[in-house]
Chains A and B, each alone.
Chain A
Amino acid sequence: MIVCVAVVGHQNNPVFLQSFTDSDDALKLHHIVHCSLDVIDERVNNPKKSGPTLNDTFLGVLYPMDDCKVYGYLTNTNVKFIMVTTDTDLKDGDLRSFFKDLHSAYVDAVSNPFHIPGKKITSKSFAERVSSIVKSFGSGSTF
């Protein structure tokens, strides 16, 4: 179950945040996303591996907590996608395709000439696309 999806700009400014549960801890989700930004920064500045994996976009598990995991994805322009989920076992391929779909939706939203770079994404169609991607992610992984 995906709990929330967030998009953070290259100056660590929040561009989009959407939670998919009805629980009231939206603040807790904000906090989790904020903490995971630190993990991303430290991964980017001190790479463990060098060579071809240095500029990889998918960052993997950022922050395992007791009930949920946080996954990160970094684009070429330093825009970060963060996903918090309560699922315990997720396949790498599923995650990568999820982030790829999210990236496509993000590029389409940014290509909007009325979108000001750096401000929050206010497009309703982007929010709908993200919701449909999240829904199809959950059902796609079960047989």
Chain B
Amino acid sequence: MIGAGKMKQYGNVLEKPLSKGRHEVSLSAFAFLFSELVQYNQTQVDNIAELERRLEDAGYAVGARVLELLCHREKGNRRETRLLGILSFVHSTVWKVLFGKVADSLEKGTEHEDEYMISEKELLVNRFISIPKDMGTFNCGAFVAGIVRGVLDSAGFPAVVTAHFVPMEGLQRPRTTILIKFAEEVIKREARLG
């Protein structure tokens, strides 16, 4: 406060005003919650595909709400209608709000026209998780894939999003790639918009 004489002393900790709070959550709290989420889902299902689907559904709900929140908080408030626009929005803004940094890279798939990839050296959600050998190709990044799918779906770009491990030379742990495959109608609409 400008011109304040001396700081007001609060006799009781309950009388202190609530701080606005930093927009951060402790990593260990989130890791604990996420591990409980995975364990809970593991007890409910029999196979890995179902587990992945459940994590993805959980992420989908988060993604839809994150989009509403971000669009409201952002001052510019432009609605993304172009493919590259929404992809760069996910790649920078969404990642920054969720994980504190932008994603490592955004690439366009070479084999198919409708595939795009967002890569990350190590996903935040996977930091404290190691997959046992008998679970094969399961990736807890399915949660993040679900978030991306939720954001894209609510923005009007239906897509199938999956998470994969991609082994890289020179790195001990494989890189994680989120593969986004857009629906037919999105590609057609994009071609029509020119």
- Chain A residues within CB distance 8 Å of chain B: 10, 55, 57, 74-79, 103-104, 106-107, 110-111, 113, 117
Contacts and interface: CB of A to CB of B under 8 A. Distances in A.
Contacts, number: 39
A57 B67 contact: no
Contacts of A76: 67, 71, 77-80, 155
List 9 tightest A-B contacts by C-beta distance, closest first: A76-B71, A55-B78, A76-B79, A107-B72, A55-B79, A111-B65, A107-B68, A110-B68, A77-B154
17 contacts: A55-B77, A57-B77, A75-B71, A75-B72, A76-B67, A76-B71, A76-B77, A76-B80, A77-B67, A77-B71, A77-B154, A106-B68, A107-B69, A107-B72, A111-B68, A111-B69, A113-B61
A79 to B, nearest CB: 8
Task: Decide if the interface of chain A is mainly helix, strand, loop or mixed.
Answer: loop
Interface of B: 61, 64-65, 67-69, 71-72, 77-80, 154-156
Given A77-B68, A104-B72, 14 more contacts: A10-B156, A55-B78, A55-B79, A74-B79, A76-B67, A76-B71, A76-B77, A76-B80, A77-B67, A77-B155, A78-B79, A103-B72, A110-B65, A110-B68
